[in-house]
Structure 1
Amino acid sequence: MGQRWTDAVFLHWRIPRAVAAAFMPRGVVADEFDGSAWVGLIGFRMRGAGLGNGPGVPYFGSFNEINVRLYSREPDGTRGVVFLSLDASRLAVVLAARAAGIPYVWSLDRFRAANRADPSTGYSVRRFRGGARSDFAVVPEFDVEAGDPLSVHLTARFGLHTRFRGKTLYVPNAHGPWPLFRARVTVLEDQLIAAAGIEVSGPPESALFSSGVRTQFGRPRVLGGGR
């Protein structure tokens, strides 16, 4: 599938490695940086998702997504993302993704666009089941590019690890470098990380913004061999 991700907000907190390890699929370990694992709260706008290099699917191919994620590593060093939840408003997309083992959640969400009165960009979400909410926004600092090792570690991820029918899959994802900038948090009231089973406190240690990238998912492979 090809798609474009735009207006991405990345918020990250340190967590103990043992906490992240409990969520890793078989065959991968929690990927650490500076002695810690990291949990992320990320919002972006998916635009024009479609099969292969074809056009985006009308309506169903464009929506907001808010996800909670951890970071994984295979024994050979291949790095990926482990999603704990992905909130979206397109019920058909949610059901199809859940059938493939991806933990999507049906939610009501909204994109907050920056304007002259309020320069904040962000997302709000409320789950239809359980009622967990999140509301977060940042003001990008476009004069401060984020190319430090931590920012690269948290965003330069070219695949995901997931469980499917008792096996661990790696789904590759190709995209160019994120145009990445530091950001100042202006709104943060989140229940999604706690709903996923992880506790964090205080402001995020890393807050980033990107206008987006064009990306392409490839064929999954099974860890241990085979497609």
Structure 2
Amino acid sequence: MPNWSALLEHREHRPWPLPERPWIMTMSWRELLFAHWRVDPERLSASLPAGLSLDTYQGEAWLGVVPFRMANVGPRGLNWLPGASAFPELNVRTYVVKDGKPGVWFFSLDAANALAVHSARTGFFLPYFRAQMRCERREDGWIDYRSERRHPPAPAGVFEGRYRGVGEVYRSSPGTLEHWLTERYCLYASDRKGQVRRGEIHHMQWPLQRAEAEISACSVSDGWGLALPDEAPLLHYVHDIDVVCWLPERA
């Protein structure tokens, strides 16, 4: 089990200080693929709620599809429950900024755990959806992954493919695109009244690898009018990273 308190001692890489209030939840993200596509900024801006601004890198906007496995999920001291603390998850995301704090905006988060979906929708105001999912690691290092969203009335969406990390683990450098895409320490959500909320998170700097992937189906963003371009995505792989998070507050 990770040492969550020790994790908080490593903060030199953060763009702003840790929240002063106690963190409330843990999770570990494992066997994760970052797949990013350049997308028309106007299309993405039109999909955001009022109060959030699209964040761009050198004028370019990016849409990410991120499949991985969740582990150690739960409130402090209760992240070990069988059937509730580990499951596959896949999110569709872009990058936003509010009050000078760059973060992540999720169009969808598909998960193979009904309790997690309900809890995240209720407590964190995030667009979680139930999905039938499979995530299997092969002996040669390939991760076979399939997700099919099954949460009416949410739009259908399928991801199917395989991926793996290649090469040495490294940390991204400030100012680079991969640093801009990955080193974000808050998420944004819209509550039932349409007000923007900010949820703070903390983890070590991302231990990235280059990645290769064979994606045979990826329609998980289509339901939001964000069909992916035909060009090959920018790929990164992360074997695992441990995370603590705080309840979202009004931004």
The structure 1 residue matched to 2:105, chosen from 61, 82, 87, is 82
Q: State the secondary structure of the residue aligned to 1:192.
A: coil
The structure 1 residue matched to 2:186, chosen from 141, 159, 164, is 159
Ranges in structure 1 where 5+ consecutive residues have no aligned partner: none
Question: Are 2:171 and 2:206, in contact at CA under 8 Å, matched by a contact in 1?
Answer: no
Aligned residue in 1 for 2:143: 121
CA distance in 2, matches of 1:86, 1:158: 18
Q: Does 1:7 align with 2:35?
A: no
> What TM-score results when the alignment is normalised by the length of structure 2?
0.81
Question: Are 2:92 and 2:108, in contact at CA under 8 Å, matched by a contact in 1?
Answer: yes
| Shift, 1:54, TM fit | 4.8
CA distance in 2, matches of 1:195, 1:60: 28
Aligned residue in 1 for 2:9: none
Q: State the secondary structure of the residue aligned to 2:221.
A: helix
Q: Does 1:102 align with 2:130?
A: no
Residue type matched to 2:143 in 1? Answer: T
1:43-66 deviation line (CA, Å, top 9, x unaligned): 111101121255433321111101
Residue type matched to 1:160 in 2? Answer: L
Aligned residue in 2 for 1:38: 62
Q: Percent identity?
A: 25
Aligned residue in 2 for 1:147: 172
The structure 1 residue matched to 2:159, chosen from 113, 126, 134, is 134
1:115-142 deviation line (CA, Å, top 9, x unaligned): 23xx422421112245431113223112
Q: Which structure features the higher share of strand residues?
A: 1
Q: Does 1:112 align with 2:140?
A: no
CA distance in 1, matches of 2:161, 2:57: 24
> What TM-score results when the alignment is normalised by the length of structure 1?
0.89
1:140-194 deviation line (CA, Å, top 9, x unaligned): 1123746251111111111111001321100000000111011122234101011
Q: Does 1:25 align with 2:55?
A: no
The structure 2 residue matched to 1:49, chosen from 69, 73, 91, is 73
Runs of 4+ in 1 over 6 A off after TM superposition: none
Question: Are 2:157 and 2:221, in contact at CA under 8 Å, matched by a contact in 1?
Answer: no
| Shift, 1:96, TM fit | 2.5
State how many pairs are aligned. Answer: 220
Q: Does 1:202 align with 2:230?
A: yes
Aligned residue in 2 for 1:171: 199
Question: Are 2:28 and 2:72, in contact at CA under 8 Å, matched by a contact in 1?
Answer: yes
| Shift, 1:208, TM fit | 0.6
Ranges in structure 2 where 5+ consecutive residues have no aligned partner: 1-24
